[in-house]
């Protein structure tokens, strides 16, 4: 059983690790609002990864095929949301004082990264290919081993976001207000570029 958890752990960590728009957003929120906001952002992405892992490992082809068929609309929706977050991040004002996030603020923080990850059709394709390549989506897999694998995916993804948010929070103590403002601007521009690229890719492909 341990080998299935370990495989899932490696898959979850590997898929989460490349720093894209979600990673930039997690870093920016950790720097501005502290570890909790950054980690909650990552957990939204980890939850979406877990759902995609469930689809891949249990072979829910109808769901995955439907999502791939709607990749055009999902790409546009995700691109527009990224552009919105990019502008919002660029315009946000930094605060070096500790911030107490209200529960509704943390919920929106979680949902924003969940929505961005779940609307990316490339994620389900990546999971399906990886699980098939490692023999984890075969009919010989039992419900128990499949569940352990998916739990490993969630754990691996969560481990990455824990590390990223923790590292960014540690760095926060070494930045002043001016540097934090530049962090917001640079992060906003990067996220906006990702959004524009996603829109162009969805429109012309």
Q: Which of 15-29, 59-73, 120-134 has the highest mean pLDDT?
A: 15-29
> What is the C-alpha to C-alpha distance for residues 9 and 35, in angstroms, rounded to an integer?
22
Q: To which residue do tokens 């439907």 refer? A: 66
Q: Is the pLDDT of residue 147 over 70?
A: yes
Torsion 55-47-16-11 (CA) sign: negative
**In this predicted structure, what is the pLDDT of residue 177?**
67
Mean pLDDT in residue range 93-105: 61
Per-residue confidence (pLDDT) for residue 186, from 0 to 100: 87
Please state the separation of Cα 44 from the chain's center in Å. Answer: 7
Distance in angstroms (rounded) separating the CA atoms of residues 172 and 109: 19
Kindly report, residue by residue over 7-58, the tens digit of the pLDDT.
Answer: 889 888 888 877 688 889 899 888 888 899 999 999 999 999 888 888 877 7
Domain boundaries defined on the chain: 2-204
Query: What integer pLDDT is reported at residue 158 of this predicted model?
Result: 94
For residue 161, pLDDT beyond 90: yes
Gap between the Cα atoms of 159 and 14, Å rounded: 11
pLDDT at 40: 95
What pLDDT does residue 165 have?
92
Measured CA to CA, the distance from residue 43 to residue 37 in angstroms comes to 10
Rg (CA), the chain: 18
Indicate if the pLDDT at residue 162 is higher than 90.
Answer: yes
- For residue 26, give every residue at least 6 positions away whose Cβ sits within 8 Å of its Cβ, in sequence order, or none: 38, 39, 41, 42, 45, 113, 161, 164, 165, 168
Tokens found for residue 186: 């640079």
């Amino acid at each position: 059983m341990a080998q299935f958890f370990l495989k899932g752990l490696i898959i979850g960590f590997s898929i989460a690790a490349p720093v894209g728009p979600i990673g930039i957003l997690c870093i920016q929120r950790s720097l501005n609002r502290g570890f909790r906001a950054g980690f909650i952002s990552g957990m939204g992405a980890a939850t979406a990864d877990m759902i995609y892992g469930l689809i891949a490992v249990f072979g829910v082809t109808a769901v995955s095929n439907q999502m791939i068929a709607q990749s055009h609309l999902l790409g546009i929706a995700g691109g527009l949301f990224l552009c919105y977050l990019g502008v919002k991040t660029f315009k946000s004002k930094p605060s070096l004082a500790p911030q107490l996030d209200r529960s509704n603020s943390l919920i929106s923080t979680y949902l924003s990264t969940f929505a961005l990850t779940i609307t990316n059709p490339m994620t389900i394709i990546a999971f399906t290919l990886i699980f098939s390549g490692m023999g984890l989506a075969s009919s010989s897999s039992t419900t128990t081993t499949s569940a352990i694998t998916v739990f490993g995916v969630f754990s691996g993804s969560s481990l990455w976001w824990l590390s990223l948010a923790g590292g960014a929070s540690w760095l926060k103590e070494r930045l002043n207000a001016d540097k934090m403002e530049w962090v917001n601007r640079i992060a906003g521009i990067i996220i906006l570029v990702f959004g524009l690229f996603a829109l162009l890719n969805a429109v012309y492909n």
